[in-house]
Amino acid sequence: MAFELRDRGLCVETEVPLPVVYREVQLDVGYRIDLLVENQVVVEIKSVDSLMPIHQAQILSYLKMSNKQLGLLINFNVTLLKNGIQRLVNNL
């Protein structure tokens, strides 16, 4: 997926580390954003039977921790890809 986006001229970072800062202490807890597109859109990729609330909570947490506004949750385990895409917004 990252290759396709890059071929279209977009800046895409993969497996972007996401540290947690608590009371001025940085905790490297191993969170990683699957794709960060144009340093604005957080993309979380799944291949599950169905997207669950925990998946939405995960990407909303990533949006808050990275101070980004827009996220896409994409499940590739669907017949039609458009049925596996959810758009989430962090109301900063």
DSSP structure string for the chain: -HHHHHHTT--EEEEEEEEEEETTEEEEEEEEEEEEETTTEEEEEE--SS--HHHHHHHHHHHHHHT--EEEEEE-SSSSGGGGEEEEE---
Q: How confident is residue 86, by pLDDT bands cut at 50, 70 and 90?
A: very high
What's the chain's average pLDDT?
Answer: 93
Residue ranges and CATH numbers for the domains of the chain are 2-89 (3.40.1350)
Place of tokens 């949006």: 63
What mean pLDDT do residues 65-74 have? 96
* 74 residue type, one letter: I
Indicate whether 27 pLDDT > 90: no
What is the model's pLDDT at position 77?
97
Q: Give 34's contacts (C-beta < 8 A, 6+ positions apart).
A: 14, 15, 43, 44, 45
